Structure 1
């Protein structure tokens, strides 16, 4: 498996005074560097090493988020009062509860 498909992010860390490279599929890994480019290169290297070690030890490597298939459906549990309020909002707007919830989530 290649580490090129994983989801990387670089952000500033005020606590460390440096840029930090992160990988969504490996939340316990990070890399600090003075530049964003260094942080990205560092986290990519750390992830590549982790993937190699996992493969060597017969461990399952996480599937990259970008390569996964999504159905577009997920279930959310909310209190009954919130459910009722959303149903009333949907009815008042003349849309389905699904359409209302989708619009609120994507706003």
Structure 2
């Protein structure tokens, strides 16, 4: 059996949650690693800071022999479909914006949702 080392744990796809702070900036945490959190003035800084915090959290856990949780993936299956009821005025506005962009309403909403939750940015950063 291969020994799990720092590089092994750092390579795992942990779940990162980014939360806008009321006073400005962002709080960021790794869901699977209790107490592993950091902050930054910008999204980029917060994501960089959480990588440092993750490394330190794992290094300490390895040194003292604590269990290190691994990300749990694939337990839930998602179909990629869900229904959302919106006001008629929002439906109209979304449809008009999609038409302006020359894309389907589905593509436009998919893009806006992805952008809103940071999926487009995080995917490119391996988050």
TM-score category (smaller protein) = 0.5 to 0.7
The aligned runs of 1:42-81 (5 Å cut-off) are 42-66=49-73, 70=75
The structure-2 alpha-carbon separation of the partners of 1:32 and 1:71, relative to structure 1 and needing over 3 Å to count, comes to closer
Structure 1 residue aligned with 2:21: 13
Give the aligned CA root-mean-square deviation in angstroms: 2.1
Q: Does 2:44 align with 1:32?
A: no
- Larger Rg: 1 or 2? 1
Pairwise CA distance, 1:52: 1.1
Structure 2: stretches of 5+ with no match in the other structure: 1-7, 84-127
The structure-2 alpha-carbon separation of the partners of 1:71 and 1:36, relative to structure 1 and needing over 3 Å to count, comes to closer
Is the CA contact (8 Å cut-off) linking 1:9 and 1:40 kept in structure 2? no
Pairwise CA distance, 1:10: 1.6
Q: TM-score, normalised by structure 1?
A: 0.55
Cα distance between partner residues in 2 of 1:23 and 1:52: 15
Task: Give 3-state SS (helix, strand or coil) of 1:31's partner.
Answer: strand
- Aligned length in residues: 71
Structure 1: stretches of 5+ with no match in the other structure: 73-105
Cα distance between partner residues in 1 of 2:21 and 2:49: 15
The aligned runs of 1:83-102 (5 Å cut-off) are none
